[in-house]
Structure 1
């Protein structure tokens, strides 16, 4: 029996990541409101959120809205808009955020919490590192391919949020080195996202293609050199973590690949593009990351068949 006190939760940007964590909390009894696109909201209102995961396939009832004002009264906001929309999403929420609410950034990239704080002065914002393979299979339909753990930044409510997430089946830890953990996740994204997008291929098949693991090794080495020049301490065995992605998420397309296949702009400027930009500023060459960044930008703008 779950004895964790209920948190009122809002998910700002209810895509695949936000729906997974919001859905897990709703399934554990927390009142959750998803804020997303009209077709998705209509489907959730009509039939709940279908969570098709590795361990269950259920329709989870929760509230849904298209308006940022639906964050009003939330104790916890799971902020999962795309990285280019971080500041605009924060500005939309700002008039409606409750005092004392925690805004938890569940986003790709390493600087989203920092950028969000600039538009939410006086509100508590914490970064999180997200390790989950998931996609939207259609409006109101989430498909989970693996993992799901979170690493979150210390804050006044982090312990309470960690307790709620853990009780909901989401392995969660609080870390004093979230910056390093975010860089570790950035490196994984830089290794896989662009290649999965250019090849339109899932991770398990991607690493079997000739030359791919060698190119990944070059990308990772550049990222590590940039991080070191920026004074970032990256935890864990990075090479082992890169290998583990294909092993634990073999059927996953990267979020960048999913964006391109749907004709949407990607977050590549905040992944390989961020490493290129940082490398330029710090005098560290990044040719492999630059090549992937350019290829994805070309693919974004290519005419659709």
Structure 2
């Protein structure tokens, strides 16, 4: 077989775009099949930006289309589970006679659908262990891991899996082939079952799920059900591995799972491909997985109700025209204007007074608040989209840091600290213009 390959990636979101770009950079002829704004931006840029914690930042000149138009040696399918059958029908006539298809997807049923369409000898299974986001469109951010594990379902497809693994040599991406790829796929599903659905339902990161007793209990119960489901396929996962799954978050403590990323971009999360393999195999006895599945279906199944979070900030100005900032205890670390989230049932004015008192011990009345402006850039907060109503008030009271604040201090507007977080420099500049 020739070392040079003509490769198509069908369903090029974060995963497909990243690994497709790696293969293009390694010298292969790669075409991405993408859609929407991501496709438009790649075509506008005439390529794709990669920002990788491991490989550095670089630009890849790569083709992107809405559908295939040529024959390919390898077709990588990296769609959501619900689109697997459509992907197979869309790419079938473009696979060369001696070519093969790689399933680079979550779940344990997708590669079976592909094998039914292309045959087991032409199906390679690839489990992906990586932290990726598309942010903004046309750019893939690689924040954690990156390892690939591949395998085949027959002796012939195992040979093809070895060839596919070799394509990643000298790329900086670890790719290894195994004989027991179906067991590997179930192990990967354990992690997805544990983290993806709950992170989507609770709108939180991997690290917070593991650290909270209640969510950790739910994760363990769902993992137990996944282990039982694997046994119905003849896959027996050992106890030690099962117990380690909730703590497999090295480098992913602040990571938002792919399901949560989809929700934040107003796309339906991949609920079916992750939870239904467990629910269907246990036939009414997957109590935890089924409950979470139904909750997710109710919340996100038909219509998204996912508005930005509402916050308030209060700039305290003293008689010297200095402004009060707090040093944050939590990520993102740095200096910030005192403030926080508006609680359900309280007005924004009440929230502003409460947050200021909790973080600085400075008490003011609602009547003392003056509106500076409303700040709503979706990228203003790295933790997610927030809209902040920003007030200012005058006080010479001495601050005492508490709650989320490590310290509190007045600063000259002309001499602010270097590490001011969020969009608070912009806000303070707006205040500077106002009080002049």
TM-score, length basis structure 2: 0.64
Deviation at 1:74, TM superposition (A): 2.0
CA 251–28 in structure 1, closer or farther in 2 if over 3 Å, else same: farther
Give yes or no for contact 1:101–1:123 (8 Å, CA) kept in 2.
no
Shift of 1:142: 0.5
Higher relative contact order (CA 8 A, sep 6+): 1
Check conservation: 2:7, 2:30, Cα contact below 8 A: yes
Greater share of helix residues, 1 or 2? 1
**Counterparts of 1:91 and 1:297 in 2: how far apart (Å)?**
27
Tell me the equivalent position of 1:163.
166
CA apart distance, 1:29: 2.1
* Partner Cα separation in structure 2 for residue 299 and residue 120 of structure 1: 36
C-alpha distance in 2, partners of 1:234/1:176? 16
Could you tell me how far apart the structure 1 residues matched to 2:262 and 2:243 are? 26
Q: Which residue of 1 aligns with 2:217?
A: 214
DSSP 3-state at the match of 1:101:
strand
- Taking the aligned partners of 2:243 and 2:276, their CA distance within structure 1 comes to 21
| Contact 2:151 2:162 (C-alpha < 8 Å) held by counterparts | no
In the TM superposition, what whole-angstrom CA distance separates every residue of 1:64-91 from its partner, at most 9, and x where no partner exists? 111133xx33222121011101011110
Aligned mates of 2:49, 2:189 — CA distance in 1 = 29
Structure 2 residue ranges without an equivalent (≥5) = 308-436
- Greater Cα shift, 15-24 or 247-256: 247-256
What does residue range 209-248 of structure 1 map to in structure 2 within 5 Å? 209-234=212-237, 237-244=241-248, 246-248=249-251
User: 2:84: which partner in 1?
Assistant: 86
Residues 43 and 64 in structure 2, CA contact (< 8 A), matched pair in contact too: yes
Q: Please list every run of 5 or more consecutive structure 1 residues that lacks an aligned counterpart in the other structure.
A: none
Instruction: State whether structure 2 residue 127 is matched by structure 1 residue 129.
Output: yes
Partner of 2:390: none
Cα distance in 2 for residues equivalent to 1:180 and 1:234: 8
Residue 123 of structure 1: how far off its partner (Å): 7.2
- For the 8 Å contact 1:41–1:140, the answer to whether it is kept is yes
Please state which structure has a larger fraction of its residues in strand.
2
Report how far residue 158 of structure 1 moved.
Answer: 1.9
Q: For residues 303 and 259 of structure 1, do their structure 2 counterparts lie closer, same or farther at Cα, with a shift above 3 Å needed?
A: closer
Post-superposition shift, 1:34?
0.7
Q: Distance in 1 between matches of 2:62 and 2:215?
A: 42
Deviations 1:276-301 (A, max 9, x none): 11100xx7x22111111111111213
Q: Could you list the per-position Cα deviations for residues 134-174 of structure 1 after superposition, in whole angstroms to 9, with x for gaps in the alignment? A: 11113211111211111111324222211111322221111
How much has 1:233 moved relative to structure 2? Answer: 3.0
What is the aligned partner in structure 1 of residue 49 from structure 2? 50
Which moves more between the two structures, 100-109 or 119-128? Answer: 119-128
Where 2:79 maps in the other structure, the secondary structure is coil
Change (3 A) 1:122 1:100: farther
Q: Is the 8 A contact 2:7 2:72 kept in 1?
A: yes
- The structure 1 residue matched to 2:179, chosen from 173, 176, 180, is 176
Aligned pairs for 1:198-213 within 5 A: 198-213=201-216
Asked if structure 2 preserves the Cα contact closer than 8 Å seen for 1:104 and 1:128, the reply is: yes
Tell me the residue number matched to 1:143. Answer: 141
What secondary structure, in the 3-state scheme, does the structure 1 residue paired with 2:83 have? Answer: helix
Deviation for aligned residue 1:122: 8.6
State the 1:116 CA deviation.
Answer: 1.5
Instruction: Provide Cα deviations, 1:231-254, integer angstroms capped at 9, x if missing partner.
Output: 11337723224312x223122211
SS in 1 for 2:85: helix
**Rg larger for:** 2
8 Å CA contact retained: 1:226, 1:275: yes
The CA distance in 1 between the partners of 2:76 and 2:277, in whole Å, is: 23
**1:40 Cα deviation after fit:** 2.0
Q: Does structure 2 conserve the Cα–Cα contact (< 8 Å) formed by 1:52 and 1:143? A: yes
SS of structure 1 residue aligned to 2:211: coil
Backbone CA RMSD of aligned residues: 2.0
Specify the alignment match of 1:62 in structure 2: 62
Mark the CA change 1:231 to 1:121 in structure 2 (over 3 Å): closer, same or farther: closer
Give the Cα separation in 1 of the matches to 2:123 and 2:3: 21
